[in-house]
Amino acid sequence: MPAPAPFDYPIDQVKGFLDPAEGEALYNAAYDAAPFGPILEVGSYCGKSTVYLGKAAAQQNGQVYALDHHRGSEEHQRGEGYHDPELFDNEIERMDSLPYFRRAIFRAGLEGTVVPLVADSGTMARFWQTPLAMLFIDGGHSLEQALTDWRSWAHHVRVGGTLCIHDIFENPDEGGQAPYTIYKHAIASGLFEDVARVKTLGVLRRV
């Protein structure tokens, strides 16, 4: 039996990859972080994690930046394991999750809380200067992209702020290793300490 969502919204109707227990952990972390500054997520897809973050932030009069180029990760492309033909724009032959994302944010009543950033993660970060109360990394899972996300965004997390990383698998037989690699970077850097693990979601704090 999955944990109930901590708010009244049919979250299971939003396409996505987040376990309800992970979503609730994200919600709780966002609720605590939101009074101290903006929350930024890398990798929104159709908005499932964004709704958890946004619902928590809205209660605190906070704000969520939801960053995604909406062209899908490697595994979402045509012919790959997580391809969803409903998200394919046949006219330009590219993935496009943005309409689904916008619908989810509208239905959740979060257009005043969630600011979509439709861009490549590394490009968006180039001139970013705002400290973050919370960063959630769930973007591309190639090693190159995960490292780009880590290098681009982690240093913006304010002292005492939260870093969450999704899809951490210690065992390579269970999943790709890129998120686990940046999790290990975060600990080894001395900038973050481990706070909690909920399924594949790692929660860390900036020290």
Strand extents, DSSP E, 28-179 = 39-42, 64-67, 88-89, 94-95, 114-117, 132-137, 157-165
Restricting to residues 114-143, which ones interact with ligand SAM according to CB under 6 A? 120-121, 138-140
Residues 6+ apart with CB under 8 A from 115: 63, 64, 65, 66
Q: Is 54 in the site for ligand SAM (CB under 6 A)?
A: no
* Annotated catalytic residue within 69, 70, 76, 141: 141
CA distances from residue 153 to 27, 82, 135, 182 in whole angstroms, order as listed = 20, 26, 8, 12
What is the closest distance, in whole angstroms, from the C-beta atom of residue 60 to ligand SAM in the complex? 20
Nearest to 192 by CA among 75, 147, 184: 184
Q: Is 48 in the site for ligand SAM (CB under 6 A)?
A: yes
Task: Among 19, 36, 71, 77, indicate the residue that binds ligand SAM (CB under 6 A).
Answer: 71
Task: Among 39, 57, 68, 146, indicate the residue that binds ligand SAM (CB under 6 A).
Answer: 68
Only segment of 28-36, 64-72, 104-112, 180-188 that touches ligand SAM (CB under 6 A): 64-72
**Annotation says 70 is catalytic:** no
Task: Among 38, 72, 161, 179, indicate the residue that binds ligand SAM (CB under 6 A).
Answer: 72
Question: Which positions are catalytic?
Answer: 141
